[in-house]
Amino acid sequence: MPASQPRSRARDRNNVLNRAEFLSLNQPLKGNQESRSSGRKQSSQAGAAGAQNNNAKERRQSQQLPEEDCMQLNPSFKGIAFNSLLAIDICMSKRLGVCANRASSWGGARSMINLLGITGHGIPWIAGTLICLVKSSTLAGQEVLMNLLLALLLDIVIVAGLQKLAKRKGPYDINPGLLDYLTMDTYAFPAGHASRAAMLSKFFLNHLVLAIPLRILLVLWALCVGFSRVMIGRHHITDVLSGFVFGYLQFRLVELIWMSSNTCQMLISIW
């Protein structure tokens, strides 16, 4: 028996099927098993330690960052509604920009739309008001013209200030013209042409005696001037609508600070 045992052990060692490369996958070597299990334990421990470190770093960063820099994973209903309306506004404004460039569907009418927009610029209106003020010889006419000049200057200052605060660009990448730079109408919100047209139409309707056809034409002119800015791609629809609202508010402001005839005469004498 003792001699047979060494012989059987030698036979097992010489048998190629008992070598490591021929062992079944279901019966791996004990050494490999132990090394693999130890490797798995070490990797799991290292992964757990790394995850804890990452969580600690994220907590520190979230504590350091202000709330507005953190991502809002659950936006409010107001935020969703606002973003949806903003997307609709941009989409509709781009579709209505039929004269944005020469290749647009109404590109041939771009010159006429630009000419209509010039009638709403502040510089021609200020220059025309000054000329009429110089030629006016009545106290009532000078009073109305001085307050109209005040309204035009207030419109330029208020719209320029609001545009600098909002800094919203138009639906198309169109550079402002020379008159736009002179009136500081370089951004989209609110539309300066729309606010000026609304303010002027309301001013003339209140302080000038006009026939009904002229009153209707005056309102139509203000609407056409406002929406012509959408057609050439300079403003969004909401920019024009807000411009109409601000124009009406500017008219109400001028009515509150209306300069009397004596004040106007004193200013004209100084000038």
Would you call 179 helix, strand, or coil by DSSP?
A: helix
CA dihedral 192, 163, 159, 100 (to 10 degrees): 0
Is residue 112 included in any domain, yes or no? yes
Q: What is the pTM of this model?
A: 0.69
Q: What are 54's two structure tokens? A: 């990452």
Residues whose CB is less than 8 angstroms from the CB of residue 222 and which lie 6 or more positions away in sequence, other chains included: 194, 197, 198, 200, 201, 244
Q: Annotated active-site positions, please?
A: 193, 235
Q: Please measure the distance between the N-terminal and C-terminal CA atoms of the chain and give it in whole angstroms.
A: 135
Is residue 266 included in any domain, yes or no? yes
Q: How many helices (H) and strands (E) does the chain have?
A: 11, 0
Task: Tally Cβ neighbours within 10 Å of residue 8.
Answer: 9
Is residue 247 included in any domain, yes or no? yes
Q: At what angle do helices 212-231 and 192-207 cross, to 10 degrees?
A: 180
Is residue 174 included in any domain, yes or no? yes
Contact 116, 225 (CB under 8 A): yes
Is residue 4 included in any domain, yes or no? no
Is residue 126 included in any domain, yes or no? yes
> 81 vs 204, which has greater pLDDT?
204
Is residue 55 included in any domain, yes or no? no
Whether residue 66 has a cis bond before it, omega within 30° of 0:
no
134-185 residue pLDDT tens: 888 889 889 999 999 999 999 999 999 999 998 888 888 777 777 778 777 8
**Based on C-alpha coordinates, what's the Rg of the chain?**
39
Q: Which of 63-72, 91-100, 105-114, 202-211 shows the lowest per-residue confidence on average (mean pLDDT)?
A: 63-72
**Domain limits for position 213:** 107-270
From its phi and psi, is residue 13 left (phi > 0), alpha (psi between -120 and 50) or beta?
A: alpha
94-124 residue pLDDT tens: 888 888 777 777 878 888 888 888 899 888 9
Domain count along the chain: 1
Is residue 153 included in any domain, yes or no? yes
